[in-house]
Every structure is written in C-alpha cells, then in structure tokens.
Amino acid sequence: MKGSVQLIDENGKRVDGRYPNELRRLRIEAGVLKNADGSAMIELGNNKIIVAVYGPHEAVPKYMAEPDRAVIRCRYSMAPFSVDERKSPSPSRREVELSMVIRQALEPAVFLNEYPRTMIDVFIEVLEADGGTRTASITAAAVALADAGIAMRDLVSAIAVGKVGGRLVVDLNGLEDQYGEGDMPIALMPQLNYVTLFQADGVFTPKEVEDAFRLVSEPIKKVYREQKRALKKKYEDVVREVEKGE
C-alpha cells in the first residue's frame, strides 16, 4: 500500500489530472428501477453502483422485527466482473463489514420509529469499482431511500479523503486507493452536520484527521447538490413538460 508509484506532482496534480480538492465526474439518477420502492444509480469516475430500496415491509423473518422501529437490512455486494481479478459472488468479510458500516451510516438519517415492526431493505450492487465504492454507495443509498418516500431527517452525502504523496486529497480513485498512504471515508448528514461514517486506514497525523474534515466540506456540498438534483428531476421535468404544453 505504500507510495511506490508517483501519484501526485509538485503542483498537486494527480494521476488523472485532478487537484487535491476535486471530485471525479459525478452523476446520480433516481427512480431507475421499476420493481424497487426506491432506487438510484451513481456514476463517480469509473464507479457504477446501483441501489434498490424495498420497504418499509413486513419484517421477514418475523423475529427480526423491533417493536418500536424499523430495522434496516443492508447488503453491499460487488459483482464478479466489477474488478480486475474476478471476485467470487459469495460475500467476503470485507462486504460483510461494509454492509454494516453503510447501514450504520444511513440509520441516523431515517425516522425509524415511524415504521415499527417493519424492515427496510437496502441492496447495493457495485457493477464497476474504481476506488471509493462505500462512500458512493452511501450517497446513492440515501437517494434511493428518499426516492422510496421514506421519512428522513436529512440525506447522507459521502466522500473518501485520502493521502497521496504526503498530501491530503479528496475522492481517491482506484489507483490512489491501492498505492496511496491512507484512505479516510467520511459520510455526513449535510444539513444537520453530523458524521455518520468515519473510518481510516493508513497513517495520518492528528492534524491531518482534523484537516480532512475541512477539505471535505466543499466536495460534500457538491455531492449533496447532485443528490438533490437527481431526486427532484423526475418531478420537475413533468412540471416543465406540462407548462410547455400550455
């Protein structure tokens, strides 16, 4: 994982031409699946991830239900063809951990106590992976939950901060993730300013931990704007269409 490849130059330009605080190309689309109650597709750089939300529905199995709130069941999965070396379809330990931290990143945002004894399923499938899949998944899952009409305090917007060539950068791509010095995924409820996902591997100085939050502030706003745009688009398009007709 140590920096053996030169990933950033003296001017702060990264391997894909971006500067430290730049996001990759981001596109989100909401309501893409007919069957799911809510859904979203996200493309962030080469990442392509689809999320389906089913629910709230009757808890299955029944013993998993909580009397006073909904239970979120989250499954993060990578398709075998999503990575360079084929990944086996059976859940890896990494996928188990990510399913859990993603669920815990979304739970604070949902008004779980409005749906006692029910279950909300969040199914995440990574179709193509290129660094930062867990934060992209959270970003898309929040859109899918809202698209399903589920009551939430706020959306959840997420981005990974990383360290390459000794510098903090935002939105690591696959190469930077693999050969860089550290990866720090962060998810926030942007209006309320609460952190719901916070992890790191690699070595960071205490100051870098603090700086990461400062660095992530503007990019997260961009992510949030795109999430809002995606959610509103379908409905605003209808209004435009109708107004044009008149």
Partner 1 sequence: MSESKSAGILSLLRREVILAGLRKGEREDGRSLTEFRDIEIQTGYVGKAEGSALVKLGDTKVIAGVKVDIGTPFPDTPEMGVQIVNAEFIPVASPVFEPGPPGEDAIELARVIDRGLRSAEAVDLSSLVLVPGSKVWTVFVDIYPLDHYGNLIDASGLATMAALLDTKIPSVDVENGEVRISEEKKPLPINTRVVYVTVAKIEDFLVVDPTFEEELAADARVTYAVNEDLNICGIQKGGSGAFRVKELIDARDMALEIAPSLFEKLPPKHGA
Partner 2 sequence: MPVYVENRQIVVPGELIADKNRFRVEGKVYERDGRYYSKVLGVAYIDQENRRVNVLTLKGKYIPSPGDLVIGKVVEVGLTNWIVDINSPYPAILPLNEVFSKPTSIPRSELSKILDVGDIIAAKVIAFDYARDPLITIKETRLGKIPQGIVVEIPPSKVPRIIGRKGSMVNMIKELLGVELIIGKNGRIVIVGKDRAKAELAALVIRKIEREAHTSGLTDRVREFIMEKLNEIGGGSNEG
The residue (of 151 and 209) whose beta carbon lies closer to partner 1 is 209
Tokens 């430290």 -> residue: 20
CB of 138 or CB of 200, closer to partner 2: 138
- Residue 235 exposed, middle or buried by CB count within 10 Å (0-12, 13-18, 19+): exposed
Q: Report the residue from 75, 167, 222, 228 that binds partner 2 according to the rule CB under 8 A.
A: 228
Q: Rounded to the nearest whole angstrom, what is the least distance from the CB of residue 110 to partner 1 in the complex?
A: 10
CB neighbours (10 Å) of residue 114? 13
H/E run at residue 39: strand 38-44
Q: Which helix (H) or strand (E) holds 119?
A: strand 118-128
Asked whether position 217 contacts partner 2 by CB under 8 A, the answer is: no
Binding status of residue 38 toward partner 2 by CB under 8 A: yes
Length of the chain: 246
Distance in angstroms (rounded) separating the CA atoms of residues 148 and 76? 19
What is the binding site for partner 1 (CB under 8 A)? 1, 93-94, 96-97, 99-101, 103-104, 107-108, 182, 184, 189, 193-206, 208-210, 213
Residues in touch with partner 2 (CB under 8 A): 37-38, 55-58, 67-68, 109, 111, 115-118, 146-155, 189-192, 227-228, 231-232, 235-236, 238-239, 242-243, 245-246
